[in-house]
Chain A
Amino acid sequence: MAIIRIPTPLRPYTNGQSELTVAGETVGQVLENLVQQYPALRTHIFNENGELRPFVNLFIGENNVNDLQGVATPVEDNDRILLIPSIAGG
């Protein structure tokens, strides 16, 4: 079970909880289990094609999972996954 930290703007969809313990052997599985537990989160994390929305950044410790194996990055028990948004527009 990993611990995933939810940023403030998404906490209304997790009953206000900032950290959740979620099962999964990879980052992708943790995210899928997360949105199954909190379905209203799905549209804000994944786009219509099931891809991560561009503002979603995932870190394990200080490592961006994009620099590891992306959503296939293995997760160990008690790993902390930080979901941190980047903000962009134009």
Chain B
Amino acid sequence: MKTLVLAAELLQELSSYLEGAYPEEGAGFLLGKTEEELGRVQALFPLPNAREAEARSNRFLLTPQDYVVAELHAEQSGLEILGVFHSHPDCPNTPSEFDRQWALPHLVYLITTVSQGKAANHRAWMLREDRSAFDEITLELSTRPPFLSTTHSVGQLTNP
């Protein structure tokens, strides 16, 4: 994938969720569809950061159970897991070495800097096939509403 398209209203939802998680890292899945080299996000699937409280300022974890639930939700909505979003509180939105070690190929990693509690900047990345580094991909904002409005909200937009 070379371009990730995200509706402005979904970006606003994502920003609000990550600001709510501040000063901890917030995270979740991006659900949508791929069209050749373009991924179109159609729903967010935010989840609680499963890391222990003292680590959540610079680490996040989505468990295998989270993955299964997100994948099932995506399939039921006719979507797929396009990638993962997470925040870097008061840090640049470039992938860390820890991000690289844990990264999966063929998933987009959308990283947001949350600076002093405000979502400041968003960048999208994909892991190289040889796992040596991430490459930035184009993040395109769309004014068109998402085709589906299926953002997961079963009490999970509230951070723990």
The residues of A with any CB-CB pair to B shorter than 8 Å are: 7-10, 12, 43-44, 53-55, 57, 59, 64, 84-90
Contact = CB atoms under 8 A, between A and B. Distances in A.
A55 B98 contact: no
A86 B63 contact: yes
A89 B96 contact: yes
Q: What's the dominant secondary structure at chain A's contact region?
A: mixed
A43 B25 CA distance: 28
Nearest to A48: B131
B64 A8 contact: no
A57 B60 contact: no
Q: Interface range on chain B: under 10, 10 to 19, 20 to 34, or 35 or more?
A: 20 to 34
Top 8 closest A-B pairs, CB basis? Answer: A89-B99, A84-B64, A90-B59, A87-B62, A9-B104, A90-B98, A57-B64, A88-B102
Interface string B61-99: 111101110010000000011001010000000011011
Interface of B: 25, 27, 29, 51, 58-64, 66-68, 71, 80-81, 84, 86, 95-96, 98-99, 101-107, 109, 130-131
B136 to A, nearest CB: 16
Q: What's the dominant secondary structure at chain B's contact region?
A: mixed
B80 A86 contact: no
Given A7-B67, A10-B105, A44-B104, A87 B96 contact: no
A8 B80 contact: yes
A88 B105 contact: no
A11 B131 CA distance: 16
B106 A88 contact: no
Contacts of B71: 7-8
B106 A12 contact: yes
12 contacts: A12-B105, A43-B130, A44-B105, A53-B102, A57-B64, A87-B61, A87-B84, A88-B61, A88-B98, A89-B59, A89-B60, A89-B102
